[in-house]
Copies of this chain bind each other. A is one copy, B any other.
Amino acid sequence: MFRTATCGELRLADRDKAVILAGWVQKVRNLGAMVFIDLRDRYGITQITVDEHAPAELKAVAENLGREYVVQVSGKVTERSAKNTKIPTGEIEIIATEIKVLNASEVPPFTIEENSDGGDDLRMKYRYLDLRRAPLQRAMMLRHRLAQEIRRYLDGQGFMEIETPYMIKSTPEGARDFVVPSRMNPGEFYALPQSPQTFKQLLMVSGYDRYFQIVRCFRDEDLRADRQPEFTQVDCEMAFVEREDVLEVFEGMMRTMFDKTLGITFPGDRFPRMSWREAMETYGSDKPDIRFGMKFNDMTSLAKGHGFAVFDSAEYVGGICVPGCASYTRKQLDGLTEFVKRPQVGAKGLVYVRREADGSYKSSVDKFYPQEALAGWGEATGMRPGDLLLILAGPKKQTLAALCALRLEMGDRLGLRPHDTFAPLWVVDFPLLEWDDETQRYYAMHHPFTSPKTEDMEKFFSGDMKALGDVRAEAYDFVVNGVEVGGGSIRIHDGRVQSRMFEVLGFSPEEAQAQFGFLLGAFRYGAPPHGGIAFGFDRMCSLFGGSDSIRDFIAFPKNNSGRDMMIDAPSPLAEAQLEELRIAVAKPE
Write the nearest CB–CB distance from A157 to chain B, whole angstroms.
Answer: 13
Among residues 570 to 584 in chain A, which have CB atoms less than 8 Å away from a CB atom of chain B? 570-574, 577, 579-584
Q: Does A52 contact B (CB under 8 A)?
A: no
For residue A102, which residues in chain B have a CB less than 8 angstroms away from its CB? 493, 528-529
Q: Check B567–A208 contact: CB distance below 8 A.
A: no
Q: Select A562's contact among B161, B185, B524, beta carbons within 8 Å.
A: B185
Cα–Cα distance between A164 and B558 once the two chains are bound (Å) = 11
Q: Does A197 contact B (CB under 8 A)?
A: no
Write the nearest CB–CB distance from A354 to chain B, whole angstroms.
Answer: 49
Q: Check A206–B129 contact: CB distance below 8 A.
A: yes
Q: Does A359 contact B (CB under 8 A)?
A: no
Q: Check A564–B165 contact: CB distance below 8 A.
A: yes
Q: Does A98 contact B (CB under 8 A)?
A: no
Q: Does A265 contact B (CB under 8 A)?
A: no
Q: Does A180 contact B (CB under 8 A)?
A: yes
For residue A581, which residues in chain B have a CB less than 8 angstroms away from its CB? 179
Q: Does A465 contact B (CB under 8 A)?
A: no
Q: Check B203–A131 contact: CB distance below 8 A.
A: yes
Q: Does A191 contact B (CB under 8 A)?
A: yes
Q: Check A230–B167 contact: CB distance below 8 A.
A: yes
For residue A266, which residues in chain B have a CB less than 8 angstroms away from its CB? none
Integer count of this chain's copies in the complex: 2
Closest to A154 in B: B148
Write the nearest CB–CB distance from A59 to chain B, whole angstroms.
Answer: 22
Q: Select A188's contact among B3, B525, B570, beta carbons within 8 Å.
A: B570
Cα–Cα distance between A375 and B586 once the two chains are bound (Å) = 75
Given contacts A1-B245, A180-B178, A569 and B105 within 8 Å (CB-CB): no
Cα–Cα distance between A160 and B566 once the two chains are bound (Å) = 22
Q: Check A2–B131 contact: CB distance below 8 A.
A: no
Closest to A105 in B: B526
Stretch from A88-96, A168-176, A321-329, A476-484 contacting the other chain:
A168-176
Write the nearest CB–CB distance from A528 to chain B, whole angstroms.
Answer: 5
Q: Check B573–A582 contact: CB distance below 8 A.
A: no
Cα–Cα distance between A584 and B192 once the two chains are bound (Å) = 19
For residue A232, which residues in chain B have a CB less than 8 angstroms away from its CB? 163
Residue of A43, A108, A518 with most partner-chain B CB within 10 A: A518
Q: Does A33 contact B (CB under 8 A)?
A: no
Binary CB contact string for chain A from 426 to 466 against chain B (1 if under 8 A, 0 otherwise): 00000000000000000000000000000000000000000
Q: Check B162–A555 contact: CB distance below 8 A.
A: yes
Kindly list the 5 A-B residue pairs having the minimum CB-CB distance in the complex, ordered from nearest: A105-B526, A131-B206, A188-B570, A169-B569, A2-B240
